[in-house]
Amino acid sequence: MLLALAALAHAGPPPGVDLDDLDRWETLAGRALDGPAGCWDLEGDVALRQTGFAAPSLFRRADRAESTFGGTFHGRLDGGRWTSFEYTLARTSGSEDSTELEAPLWPMVGRIDPSVPHRIVPDEEAPSSSLRVEGGSGEGMNLLRHTLDLIDPATSTATAEWRDSEASVRVLQDVPVDDAANADVLAVSTRFPGGGDQATDVDVVFPRRMRGGTRLLRVTVYDAQFHLRAQRVGERVLPAKESVSLGLSVLGFTIGYEQALTYRRATPCAPAEPPGP
Amino acid sequence: MPIPAALAFALAAAAAPDPEPTGTIEIPQDDEPLPSAIDTMSGDPGDDVDPDALLRLPRRTLVRSRFSVHPLATWTSVLGGHGSALWLGAGLGHQLFPVDEVPLHLGLDTRLEVTAPVGGASGLRVDLRSALCPWFGRLGLSLGPTLRVDREIWALGQEVPLGVLLGAELGVVVDAGLVQPRLAVAPAGIVAGAPRDPRDPVLPTLLDQTTWRAGLGFDLHPLQVGLEAALRESSAGPTLEAGVALHLLAF
């Protein structure tokens, strides 16, 4: 009896889960950002957080000022591509004097064309606070995958391991951000509950500092990271929440930015109306 | 061994595929907060956060390094009607500071400033000072070495011969919200050049030359305005300097 309990406590991966088949696990991890198959109308909550880190002077200590914004979103994810994405946003805390970044909001799940996200604003605010990026390929892109493609590492390492504590397979990938021998790496961790084909957790953490820009306009990105949590509902895995955040330093100013989406409801798209007689 | 009926039912239910959803699905949520760069920049991934990828990278409070260039303009007057002049120049600054709340907020502020008079006097001032700036709540201190090279010849005859002075500056500032008063004293001793004796000092002097500073900072969003007056007890006599500093407050 004790032997049986001990065996259960260290159950190991279920039969048929091959941890050595890394190609398969990497392929499955790559699909984790696609979103659910089929066509879905998704809706939920939006939360933005902006923090300005003010430099000290002879009279003031270094300080931080934070503003938060909240709203809702709804959109249609069809075959992994967003065909619509609209959201509202209003300040929920912070000084009205502080600057509001006008960065358009993009979901990190699925592919989206830059022209698709659209902020719905009250009429009186429309001229000053509505920003819509025009253009795009029409097919859309996944921002995170696009970023990883830009890095295009010559080498990367991956491991797959079974974790009894979470009864899951974890796929861990380290991707060097350049070709230098001691290059910083971004770390990707993907969790497959029960060793199944569908991931529920994705965490991507970029190196502490990434420098870019031109000689005159240096840009440093700090602690960029992306996190996705999905939930199994029946046979499907639906996105539950995601966040992308980073610190940014440019022209001596340092800011922190976080965008979080909470997916509350998912509705299968209504079938198209048959053409009339 | 017969399988209990309840267990058999549970196994059958688990094995049967769920029906395809047709209506709106409420997506369940867990209470786990997601990590954020805003928190990890300050070395605080959060108590409940345990994403594997996050733990494999070192976290620490981010210390920012910042260079700045700023114009300088000070009105300088040798007390007793011995002359006055506008000194113009430029400063190069460098700051190191943590980006978040820590129990002892420590910064390092280094400045190199060069100014020269426009009418009323001739000469040059080169000031290099570096200060460690700990903050204890709303009370801030600054302490660090100073190095000054200067020569001043005033139109009415007062002269400060070329010299190199090494000293220190100790300052205290109170962040009282919209207004921040600051006081500082900076004694210095000659390390090269002719000896100097402060002439007719108004305030107590230390070593060969002593500068007393008093200032007020004002938060006038998006600008922070600093007004500072300095009384330098030098061999030319008590010299009063007044200047304005502007800082852009982005947030």
DSSP characters over chain A: -HHHHHHHHT--SPTT--TT-HHHHHHHHHHTTS--SSEEEEEEEEEEEEEEEEPP-SS---EEEEEEEEEEEEEEEETTEEEEEEE--EEEES-TTSPPP-PPP--SSSBB-TTSEEE---GGGHHHH--------SS-B-HHHHHHHHH--S--EEEEEEEGGGTEEEEEEEEESSSSTT--EEEEEEEEETT-S---EEEEE--SEEEEE-SSSEEEEEEEEEEEEEEEETTEEEEEEEEEEEEEEETTEEEEEEEEEEEEEEEEPPPPPPPP-
Per-residue confidence at B26, pLDDT binned at 50, 70, 90?
A: very high
What pairs with residue A58 in β-bridges? Answer: none
CB count in 10 Å sphere of residue B28:
10
Mean of per-residue pLDDT scores for chain A: 83
Residues 103-162 in A contacting B (C-alpha not used; CB under 8 Å)? none
What is the mean predicted confidence (pLDDT) over B206-233? Answer: 87
Q: Which residues of A175-194 are buried (b: 16+ CB within 10 A; e: fewer)?
A: bbeeeeeeeebbbbbbbbbe
Q: What is the pLDDT of residue A254?
A: 83
Q: Which amino acid is at A255?
A: I
Task: Give kind and range of the element (H or E) at residue B53.
Answer: helix B52-55
Tell me the per-residue pLDDT of A175-222, one tens digit each, with 9 for 90 and over.
Answer: 888 877 788 888 899 999 999 999 999 999 888 888 888 877 888 888
Q: What is the pLDDT of residue A197?
A: 92
Judged by a CB distance cut-off of 8 A, whether residue B34 touches chain A is yes
What is the mean predicted confidence (pLDDT) over A255-260? Answer: 92
A207 interaction partners in chain B (CB closer than 8 Å): 57
Tell me the per-residue pLDDT of A7-24, one tens digit each, with 9 for 90 and over.
Answer: 445 568 888 889 999 999
- Between the alpha carbon of residue A180 and those of residues A148, A153, A184, the distances in Å are 17, 10, 9
Judged by a CB distance cut-off of 8 A, whether residue B65 touches chain A is no
Q: What is the pLDDT of residue A259?
A: 95
What is the mean predicted confidence (pLDDT) over B176-200? Answer: 88
**Nearest residue to B97 (alpha-carbon basis) of B136, B74, B64, B145:** B64
Alpha carbon distance A209, A184 (integer Å)? 9
This complex has an ipTM of: 0.82
Residues 223-242 in A contacting B (C-alpha not used; CB under 8 Å)? 223-225, 227, 229, 231, 233-236, 238-242
Per-residue confidence at A47, pLDDT binned at 50, 70, 90?
A: very high
Q: Pairing state of beta strands A81-87 and A117-119? A: parallel
Q: What is the pLDDT of residue A270?
A: 78
Tell me the per-residue pLDDT of A70-108, one tens digit each, with 9 for 90 and over.
Answer: 999 999 999 999 999 999 998 888 766 555 666 678 899
Alpha carbon distance A258, A269 (integer Å)? 30
Look at chain A and count its residues. 277
Q: What is the pLDDT of residue A40?
A: 94
Q: What is the pLDDT of residue A2?
A: 46
DSSP-assigned letter for residue B42: B
B27 interaction partners in chain A (CB closer than 8 Å): 44, 231, 233, 238-240, 263-266
DSSP-assigned letter for residue B37: H
pLDDT of A29 strictly over 60: yes
pLDDT of A229 strictly over 80: yes
pTM score, whole prediction: 0.74
Task: Give kind and range of the element (H or E) at residue B15.
Answer: helix B5-15
Question: DSSP 3-state assignment of B10?
Answer: helix
Q: What is the pLDDT of residue A275?
A: 59
Alpha carbon distance B219, B217 (integer Å)? 7
Q: Which amino acid is at B58?
A: P
Are B129 and B169 within 8 A, CB to CB?
yes
Q: What is the pLDDT of residue B72?
A: 87
Q: Report CB contact under 8 Å: B245, A57.
A: yes
CA–CA min distance B69, chain A (Å): 11
Backbone angles phi, psi at A184, to 5 degrees: -65, 155
Count chain A–chain B contacts defined by CB atoms under 8 A.
Answer: 197
Question: Percent of chain B at pLDDT above 90?
Answer: 35
Return the half-sphere exposure (C-beta side, CA atoms, 13 A cut-off) of residue B137: 1
Alpha carbon distance B91, B143 (integer Å)? 19
Q: What is the pLDDT of residue A7?
A: 46
Q: Report CB contact under 8 Å: B107, A241.
A: no
What is the mean predicted confidence (pLDDT) over B196-211? Answer: 86
Judged by a CB distance cut-off of 8 A, whether residue B247 touches chain A is yes
pLDDT of B168 strictly over 80: yes
Task: Give kind and range of the element (H or E) at residue B8.
Answer: helix B5-15
Strand locations in B119-222, DSSP E? Answer: 121-136, 139-154, 159-174, 179-193, 209-220
Considering only residues B4 and B83, tell me which one the structure prediction assigns the higher pLDDT: B83
Alpha carbon distance B200, B239 (integer Å)? 11
Q: What is the pLDDT of residue A93?
A: 84
Judged by a CB distance cut-off of 8 A, whether residue B105 touches chain A is yes
Q: Report CB contact under 8 Å: A62, B98.
A: yes
- Give B200-205 contacts, CB < 8 A, sequence gap 24+: B200/B80, B200/B237, B200/B238, B201/B233, B201/B238, B202/B79, B202/B231, B202/B233, B202/B238, B203/B231, B203/B233, B203/B238, B205/B233
Mutation target for B interface from A49, A57, A201, A257: give the one with most B CBs within 10 A. A57
B57 interaction partners in chain A (CB closer than 8 Å): 187, 205, 207-208
Q: Which two tokens stand for residue A59?
A: 């009279």
